[in-house]
Amino acid sequence: MRIALVVPPWGPDDIRAKDTRGISGCWPTPGLQYIAAVLRDCGHEILFLEGFFYSNEEMRQKTVDFKAEALGVYVISLLWDKAKPFIEDVKESIPSIFTFIGGHGATAMPETLMKSTSALDAIVIGEGEITSAELIDAVKTGRDLKEVKGLLIKDEGNLYRTPPREMIEDLDELPFPAVDLCEMDRYYPSFEQVSTVPAMQMLASRGCTGSCLYCYKMYGDKIRLRDPELVVDEMEYYINNYGTREIKFWDEHFTHDHEHVYGICKEILRRGLKIRWWVSARADSVDRPLLTAMKNAGCWCINYGVESGLQKHLDTLMKHETLDQIRSAVKLTHSIGIKTHTTYIFGIPGETFEDGLKTIEFAKELSSFTVEFFPITPFPGTPLYKGVHKGLFGTMSENLADQGMLLDRPCFVPFTMSAGEIMELRRLAYIKYFFRPKFLFYRLTNIMSLFQVRAMFHGAMSLMSMVGEQISALWKKSVHQ
């Protein structure tokens, strides 16, 4: 079959606040790339379209010109308002086309999305590779879709969930993502996320053992590992075919299994690969020998999700980490020569404005190379989302277009803070963090590439925008007093 796999139309305005749009970029969607590879291996012809590059009409026309028989669309809740009209327009142009969606948003709220449009034929729930392959085979052969696990379908006017799909136990059975089907030369990462380009993204594992209040775990709570040799095979493929100089691993908990990490590091060194890489880790899952091995194999930065500078709020978030563990991990990482990227959130249930100021001070104490500050967001399917709908924690917008961490407005407001205070904390955090002479000297003396020079320029523009916003907010506050 001829299948169009599509990321719906979107742009920086849809996902970022005005003050950070200048540093925004676009990565390919790994899940959709994996599905494209699996479907191609099944003998299907694939058209891969990225909505960051095209308008709704341009992608509709490309889908029509391709003579697509099936349309699969990647959906997160934030962009459903973009995906829905695209699906409807394609269905109107090709009434016989079979339409399906998948992704985090589709998995978390399938009934809600299916009920909102008549143009949708099926929703893939959970990991999509095997389910999508079986779904397309059933459509092609006329088999009953009820026989395919992991779907939400329509059955005589009613919604019907087929039995759940088991997680893929052996990730090594999957082909490499079909990056060759994407317009890779048009993608570029956000400036704060890598040290150089060309950069590619990868997964060495799936799943997370954490239980954080705000996290939706589509890949389950068991961590499944890829063979280290295959991981490095993929890295080497990108180096040889795309000139890749850096890899960003999107694993939720890269350092969960130390032997797995050692295996990857040893294989990189054995092959003599010269490449930088970036991972995410928990503060309680690193030690000196592991970090030393990672440094020697090219790891230049580790992302630690710190979230708060107060232990009581880490406990509320069910992080199961302590501030001392975080301090020790960041200090140890820096001592090895690996830089850190730390993230923080404001608007935690029970948090006050004064608590947020203490988190800013904790961030300054840790002094990571790069940082991000977000308003907490109750994504559908998370414990936070479910709690809010039971009258707990605070209030939230029901507009799916508000469900983003990088927007200029908070989706969620706890009972202990206002929306204005959350966004003021975000502005103050960036201003107080970056406008420190010692830190500015550190950044200027640690430039690793021309790409980082550009990143610093665009970051400076974002900071000046935040300063202007803060002055304006203070002026308005003084006028109304």
The predicted-structure confidence for 379-408, as pLDDT tens digits, reads as follows: 988 999 999 999 999 999 999 888 887 778
Which of 313, 258, 319 has its CA nearest to residue 288? 258
Asked whether the beta carbons of 63 and 98 are under 8 A apart, the reply is no
| 242 and 142 co-located in one domain | no
* Span 191-211, pLDDT tens digits: 677 889 999 999 999 999 999
| 36 and 133 co-located in one domain | yes
Helix (H, G, I), strand (E, B) or coil at 264: helix
Asked whether the beta carbons of 78 and 108 are under 8 A apart, the reply is no
**Which CATH number fits the domain that encloses residue 60?**
3.40.50.280
| 249 and 150 co-located in one domain | no
| 260 and 152 co-located in one domain | no
Over residues 268-277, mean pLDDT: 98
Cβ count within 10 A of residue 346? 27
| 209 and 147 co-located in one domain | no
What pLDDT is stored for residue 480 in this prediction?
66
Range of lowest pLDDT (23-37, 84-98, 147-161, 335-349): 23-37
Over residues 426-439, mean pLDDT: 94
More confident site: 275 or 404: 275
Please indicate, yes or no, if residue 172 is contained in any of the structural domains.
Answer: no
| 157 and 193 co-located in one domain | no
189 vs 476: CA distance, rounded Å: 36
Say if residue 30 is exposed, middle or buried (CB neighbours under 10 Å; 0-12, 13-18, 19+): middle
By residue count, the chain amounts to 481
**Which CATH number fits the domain that encloses residue 317?**
3.80.30.20
Number of folded domains that form the chain: 2
* Span 288-334, pLDDT tens digits: 999 999 999 999 999 999 999 999 999 999 999 999 999 999 999 99
Cis peptide before 198 (omega within 30 of 0): yes
Which of 209, 131, 204 has its CA nearest to residue 171? 204
What is the Cα gyration radius of the chain?
23
Asked whether the beta carbons of 341 and 333 are under 8 A apart, the reply is no
Range of lowest pLDDT (119-123, 130-134, 442-446): 442-446
Instruction: Indicate the pLDDT class of residue 469, thresholds 50, 70 and 90.
Output: confident
Percent over 70 (pLDDT), the chain: 99
Cβ count within 10 A of residue 421? 20
Range of lowest pLDDT (41-50, 169-178, 257-266, 397-406): 397-406
pLDDT at 364 exceeding the cut of 90:
yes
Instruction: Indicate the pLDDT class of residue 230, thresholds 50, 70 and 90.
Output: very high
The pairing of beta strand 45-50 with beta strand 98-102: unpaired
| 328 and 439 co-located in one domain | yes
pLDDT at 213 exceeding the cut of 80:
yes
Provide the residue range defining the domain that includes 47: 2-161
pLDDT at 339 exceeding the cut of 90:
yes
Q: What is the DSSP string of 390-445?
A: TT-SEEE---GGG--TTSSS-SEEETTS-HHHHHHHHHHHHHHHH--HHHHHHHHT
Contacts of 389 (CB under 8 A, 6+ apart): none
* Span 141-190, pLDDT tens digits: 999 999 999 999 999 889 999 999 999 999 999 999 999 999 999 988 88
Average pLDDT, the chain: 94
Over residues 38-60, mean pLDDT: 97
Please indicate, yes or no, if residue 426 is contained in any of the structural domains.
Answer: yes
Contacts of 266 (CB under 8 A, 6+ apart): 228, 293, 297
Tokens of 260: 């797995």
| 202 and 350 co-located in one domain | yes
| 202 and 91 co-located in one domain | no
| 154 and 228 co-located in one domain | no
Please indicate, yes or no, if residue 168 is contained in any of the structural domains.
Answer: no
Please indicate, yes or no, if residue 237 is contained in any of the structural domains.
Answer: yes
Last residue of a domain, one of 144, 161, 178: 161
| 27 and 150 co-located in one domain | yes
| 215 and 81 co-located in one domain | no
Over residues 69-94, mean pLDDT: 96
